[in-house]
Amino acid sequence: MPPPVKLAIIGGGPSAFYVASRLLSLLPLKDPMSPLLRVHMYDRLWAPHGLVRYGVAPDHPEVKNCTNKFDATATDPRFRFFGNVNVGSKVLHSIPHALHLPLTSILNNYSHLLFATGCTIPTLHPAIPPSIYCMPALSLVHWYTQHPSRPPPPALDKISHLTLIGQGNVSLDIARILLTSPSVLRQYDVPEHVVEVLSRSTVKHVSIVGRRGPLEVAFTTKELREMINLPEASMVPIEPTLLEPPPGVTPTRQQRRTLELLRNGSKNPPGSTPKSWSLHFYRSPTSLTPPSTASALDMANLTLAHTRLDPATSRAVPTGETSTLPTSLVVTSLGFHADPETTFYDPAMRHLRSSAGRITSSEGSVLKNMYASGWAANGAKGVLASTMIDAYAVAGTILSDIVPFSEAATTTAPPPPVMEMAPDEMLNPHPDLDALPSEIDRGITDGIVTQYDDWKVINAEEVRRGEALGKERERMGWDEAQSLVALSRARS
């Protein structure tokens, strides 16, 4: 019989759940190895599901259906979830009320460790640092999803023109939320205080700026189509020559669809709606000058370098020309990177050092029983389906280490490479399967650490409150959630 396997997963987002779900199903309860397996998941947020709860746009409720699968995983008796636990990283990016758990407590208590910590830090633009005229997209997303980091509400009632830098799906999510009627958004999972701010919004135009051209946009056609079909906004037509592929370039199917959508323009003719949006290609910000007076009506000036595509590298290079875009607020939406405080962070890659799902040392050798999955391992790219495929492969890799000769392992993962274990990164080869780090035991008793059953109580109450208001759910903050959990535990 192989030795017991006690896997700690740091992170409680989709990648973490997909690895857990796959691993537990590859070693089902009837498997002789099953009694020797435990999977414990830690998240710094008190609620599970990471980006599914705190990243997916509220008007995309169908994307959140994966939580049904995650709920099913959580019913496995070998699985436990511990929320509001910040493993390893210090105060800088942490949640004020989260319990701090040193990584050594995990290493002492577990035989295997998976980092599914995602990419939680927004990439900033060096030329336009955050200010009252410039904020990262993540602050807006965390505001409308009521993330426990609690960014302040944007002053949407004081601005008329908002500029997004970056042409990815996060940019389009934000543009769509700002250009959709709050009465439509309200039926979804949008907190009432967010709906209230959106109802007072005076935003009339959203500019979406990209440093490269229409063939290089990072957003997908589904999201572009949603913009084009917005019932209350229209798109400023794009100069037709910009939509001609350069000579010798054959666009892919997706690129052809993008060009066609852009050529046809929005469902609403330009100028027919009170709100509008525009795409600006081959423009890269170089500075943002605040208005000369502090009047709310004054706009900042965003200077944009004109760019062209270097055919050899496909990178944007400046042409030497510039122009100015007056705007009330700039939102940078340039993607995300992993938290540099995370152990095994690679500053060059801006995510964790890993190879085929295994954590590697700075010399490149594989560290025994340590894994990484999802955005933590690969960077902030891909949609939930690609996260799932990656997670299933990592689960196969873990299984191949646990039971190298099982049928499932040999069909899902290549044989393990030679591995080393650095002395200060030593996991416990013989952990007590059901013991928890003492800090966690105490945190549960003190009502600071949440478990999946607590989440089920909170979830049911959020949905109930939502129903009463005629919407998908009404979210709770930590104080309320903590009180509800205390009450529910006292009753049971």
**Residue numbers of the site for ligand NAP (CB under 6 A)?**
125, 165-171, 173, 210-212, 216, 218, 223, 284, 333-336, 380-383
d(CA 469, CA 132) in angstroms, rounded, equals 34
Q: Between residues 36 and 164, which has the closer beta carbon with respect to ligand NAP?
A: 164
Cβ at position 88, least distance to ligand NAP in Å: 24
Beta bridge partners of 165: 209, 332
Q: Between residues 167 and 354, which has the closer beta carbon with respect to ligand NAP?
A: 167
Q: Between residues 36 and 331, which has the closer beta carbon with respect to ligand NAP?
A: 331
Q: Between residues 38 and 212, which has the closer beta carbon with respect to ligand NAP?
A: 212
Residue facing ligand NAP at closest CB distance:
168
Cβ at position 381, least distance to ligand NAP in Å: 4
Q: Between residues 106 and 300, which has the closer beta carbon with respect to ligand NAP?
A: 300
Name the residue with tokens 């933590």: 376
If DSSP codes are grouped into helix, strand and coil, which group holds residue 461? helix
Cβ at position 227, least distance to ligand NAP in Å: 12
Q: Which amino acid is at 419?
A: M
Question: Which pair of structure tokens corresponds to residue 98?
Answer: 């989260």
Q: Are 137 and 455 in contact (CB under 8 A)?
A: no
Cβ at position 167, least distance to ligand NAP in Å: 4
Q: Are 188 and 306 in contact (CB under 8 A)?
A: no
Q: Which amino acid is at 140?
A: L
Cβ at position 155, least distance to ligand NAP in Å: 23
Beta bridge partners of 288: 302
Q: Between residues 259 and 481, which has the closer beta carbon with respect to ligand NAP?
A: 259
Residue 442 CB partners (closer than 8 Å, separation 6+): none
Specify the DSSP class assigned to residue 137.
Answer: H
Cβ at position 313, least distance to ligand NAP in Å: 11
d(CA 353, CA 361) in angstroms, rounded, equals 7
Residue 49 CB partners (closer than 8 Å, separation 6+): 12, 13, 14, 17, 67, 70
